Amino acid sequence: MTPDLTQARLHCEAAYPNEGVCAYLRTGSTWRFVPLENISEAPHTSFVIDPLAWMKLERANQAICLVHSHVDGPAELSRRDLDTFTVDGRPLLPDLVLVVVEVRDRRAVSVGEWSFRNGAWEPIAPAL
């Protein structure tokens, strides 16, 4: 189960030409949108979440859908994404869903979604 991504798409479009990052926290069947700031020193090609903001997300102890955008790049998990979200062959957090929004010319044009199953990040049916 994944959230409606309308707010995430708008957030990532507004961040262009930098990568946008945001999250949804799940309570029951409801997802709450949480905008995040990209504090990367190279925000056009990468994203970094403020450690305090990340800690708050973790502390919420709810399923997290983490969204970030690729600027003029494909809605696919990059090597760096895989390295960031996989630790010792496991997902960084249990029940983590990853979403990548492809933003071209300030428009979200496609979305990819993944969850961790059978030891790997596997795509979920796209939402766009």
Closest CB to Zn ion belongs to which residue? 81
Residue number with CB closer to Zn ion (3 or 112): 112
Least distance in angstroms from the C-beta of 122 to Zn ion? 17
Of 78, 86, 110, 115, which lies in the binding site for Zn ion, with binding defined by CB under 5 A? 78
Stretches 27-35, 78-86, 91-99, 101-109: which one binds Zn ion (CB under 5 A)?
78-86
- The least CB distance from residue 49 to Zn ion, in Å, is 12
81 sits near Zn ion (criterion: CB under 5 A):
yes
Rounded to whole angstroms, the Cα distance separating 23 from 118 reads 24
Read out DSSP for 59-124? HHTSEEEEEEEEETS-SS--HHHHHHHEETTEESSTT-EEEEEEEETTEEEEEEEEEEETTEEEEE
Q: Which of 46, 50, 60 lies closest to 93 in space, CA to CA?
A: 60
**113 touching Zn ion, by CB under 5 A:** no
User: How many C-beta neighbours within 10 Å does residue 116 have?
Assistant: 20
Contact call for residue 102 and Zn ion (CB under 5 A): no
The site for Zn ion, by CB under 5 A, has a size of: 2
- Return the structure tokens found at 40: 């990367």
User: Binding residues for Zn ion, per CB under 5 A?
Assistant: 78, 81
